Amino acid sequence: MSKSEVVDEVFEQCANKFNSIKKFHISEIYDIFMQVIKDKLYEKGEVRLHQVGTLKVIHCKEKQCHNPQKKGEKITVPAQKRVRFKESISLKEGINS
């Protein structure tokens, strides 16, 4: 789902409740929300979104891999940090029902 699709969906849901809300406002709130999530991941390494799941920064070790484009030539993938997502139980149950 793209940003514009999220903004459109939230606008449709909010238009009946808040007469003066504009798509621009929702777009700005979306940008702020995403920035808050990024900042908290940088700062604390974990963000929990109630009824959705947890975003967590993990450390991946350096590893050896094969490059399929160069006939299996070995390459070294450097150590790096990645973000993992673990869905909440309620989300998992909702998807699987």
Query: Could you tell me the two tokens for 85?
Result: 């997502």
Query: CA angle at residue 13 from 84 to 46, to 5 degrees?
Result: 20
**CB within 8 A of 77, min separation 6: which ones?**
62, 63, 64, 65
pTM (2 d.p.) = 0.78
Closest CA to 64 of 56, 72, 55: 72
The 10s digit of each residue's pLDDT in 4-56 is 999 999 999 998 888 888 999 999 999 999 999 999 999 999 999 999 999 99
Compare 89 and 16 and report the one with higher pLDDT.
89
The 10s digit of each residue's pLDDT in 52-74 is 999 999 999 999 998 888 887 99
**CATH tag, 45-97:** 4.10.520.10
Instruction: Report how far Cα 14 is from the mean position of its chain's Cα atoms.
Output: 23
Instruction: Give the CA distances from residue 21 to residues 2, 14, 16, 45, 61, in Å, rounded to whole numbers and listed in that order.
Output: 20, 8, 10, 33, 47
**Is residue 83's pLDDT more than 90?**
yes
* CA–CA separation, 35 and 14 (whole Å): 22
**CB within 8 A of 42, min separation 6: which ones?**
none
Domain residue spans in the chain? 1-44, 45-97
